[in-house]
Amino acid sequence: MTLTDLDRSAVARSFDAAAANYDDHAVLQREVEDRLLERVPYFELEPTRILDLGCGTGRGSAALRALFPKAQVVSLDQSQAMLQASLRRSGPRNLADQPESAMVRADMHGLPFAPRRFDLVFSSLTVQWSAQEPDLFREILRVLRPGGLFLFSSLGPGTLQELRSAWASVDGAPHVNDYVDLQQLGDALVAAGFSDPVMDMETIVLEYREVLALMKDLKGIGATNAALARRQGLTSPKTLRAVIRAYEAFRQGERYPASYEVLYGATFGPPEGQPQRVPGGEIATFSVESLRSSRRSR
């Protein structure tokens, strides 16, 4: 995959800084999360453990707890400030009945859980913050129980194409993060060992009265440029004015569009005993209980 390398520490710092006012700016994030949550009932799940991967301020975690009141929902994020916001949303009383810690700070590429831990891994607009999707998907598969569901949304390469074009007319440095396309994500899921991923895409266009309002929203949700090759330091007023002038080419009436290519994925972990692709070959995993049960039935 040809993805701009991301500075993970910069990503975490951006989300820490944005946590306090994140919900005031997360218009797209709420809409996409709602659309992803609407898909959950179609799978007729009865999960006992759910992982909300990249939980942010915990809106999705709260919805999952309402959908599955008997399940343990673990909220994971790399940002401590986001987790604190999630805790405030849920309230200690709602978490008191959870048998284990329901708030976990960790990098999604190294999940601090035992294998086969979750029946459902839910993740809304988090996958795009990884530049190593195959490794990320293998890690998710590791903590997913056999036959468990991974349901997620991400962003595709058409995201913020207007802003990307406006910046490109000003200088050649990366200012908008790169994103992989639908086919690449599907291929990465299969390469990681997931079964028959179902992918679909839609374009959501937000309209702004002014370009600065878009930039304010992006900063407000922590979606700043995290490319390692990005230019350091503040953008000069002169450069900012040039970008705004270039954005005029996309103005529609009195509004400025901001396009988002939203990708959705649903895929299951392989059933118990079915070989999984791993670097260097395949591996089939069985629980001791299933093997004992199978032997007794012979």
CATH number of the CATH domain containing 108:
3.40.50.150
Residue 47, classed as helix, strand or coil, is: coil
Percent of the chain exceeding pLDDT 90 equals 64
Q: Residue 221 domain-assigned?
A: yes
- CA dist 224 and 176 (Å) reads 8
Range of the domain at 19: 8-296
Chain center to CA of 276: 23
- CA dist 196 and 149 (Å) reads 11
Residue 197, classed as helix, strand or coil, is: strand
Selection from 78-87, 115-124, 234-243 with the highest mean pLDDT: 115-124
For the cut 70, the answer to whether the pLDDT of residue 142 exceeds it is yes
What Cα–Cα distance (Å) separates residue 184 from each residue in 71, 128, 156, 195, 263?
A: 33, 12, 10, 15, 11
Number of domains in the chain: 1
- Comparing CA positions, the residue from 20, 11, 255 lying closest to residue 125 is 11
Q: Residue 177 domain-assigned?
A: yes
Residue labelled with tokens 């490794």: 135
Q: Residue 194 domain-assigned?
A: yes
Residue labelled with tokens 């909300």: 52
Q: Residue 1 domain-assigned?
A: no
Query: pLDDT class for 99, splitting at 50, 70, 90?
Result: very low
What Cα–Cα distance (Å) separates residue 17 from each residue in 11, 43, 215, 221?
A: 10, 36, 15, 9
Confidence (pLDDT) at 229: 38
- CA dist 202 and 113 (Å) reads 33
- For 188, residues 6+ apart whose C-beta sits below 8 A from its C-beta are 1, 133, 134, 137, 180
Q: Residue 280 domain-assigned?
A: yes
Q: Residue 2 domain-assigned?
A: no
Residue labelled with tokens 């004992």: 292
Contact 29, 37 (CB under 8 A): no
Q: Which token pair is 137?
A: 């998907």
Mean pLDDT value of segment 5-33: 80
Query: pLDDT class for 273, splitting at 50, 70, 90?
Result: low
The terminus-to-terminus CA distance of the chain in angstroms comes to: 47
What Cα–Cα distance (Å) separates residue 123 from each residue in 52, 94, 173, 256?
A: 6, 21, 30, 29
Per residue in 192-237, pLDDT (tens digit) is 999 899 999 999 999 999 999 999 999 888 776 544 334 445 578 8
- Comparing CA positions, the residue from 83, 78, 148 lying closest to residue 115 is 148
Contact 226, 10 (CB under 8 A): yes
Confidence (pLDDT) at 227: 41
Q: Residue 3 domain-assigned?
A: no
Q: Residue 16 domain-assigned?
A: yes
Average pLDDT value over all residues in the chain: 85
Whole-prediction pTM: 0.85
For the cut 90, the answer to whether the pLDDT of residue 297 exceeds it is no
Q: State the alpha helices, DSSP H only, in the chain.
A: 8-18, 22-25, 27-37, 59-67, 80-90, 92-95, 133-143, 161-168, 182-192, 211-220, 237-247, 288-296
Confidence (pLDDT) at 154: 98
